[in-house]
Amino acid sequence: ENISNFDIVMESDEGTFMPSGLGFTGNAKARDIVKEIMTLLQPINVTAVYDNADGTDIDYWMRDGVPGASLRDDLSKYFWFHHSQGDTMTVQDPNQMNLCAAVWTVVSYVIADMEEMLPR
What is the per-residue pLDDT across 1-57, written as a single tens digit (0 to 9) for each? 888 899 999 998 877 889 999 999 999 999 999 999 999 999 999 999 999 998 889
- The number of helices, as runs of H, and strands, as runs of E, in the chain is 4, 4
Distances (CA, A) of 89 to 18, 52, 56: 15, 29, 23
List, in order, residues 6 or more apart from 103 with CB less than 8 Å away.
19, 21, 22, 41, 46, 71
Residue 107 has pLDDT above 80, yes or no: yes
What strands, in cross-sheet order, belong to the sheet with 68-73?
9-11, 68-73, 19-25, 48-51
Q: Give dist(CA 106, CA 45) in Å, integer.
A: 13
Quote the pLDDT of residue 78. 66
For the domain bounded by 3-113, which CATH number is listed?
3.40.630.10
Contacts of 117 (CB under 8 A, 6+ apart): 7
- Reported as a single tens digit per residue, the pLDDT across 48-94 is 999 999 888 999 999 999 999 999 998 777 666 767 776 766 777 89
- Strand ranges in the chain using DSSP code E only, listed in sequence order: 9-11, 19-25, 48-51, 68-73
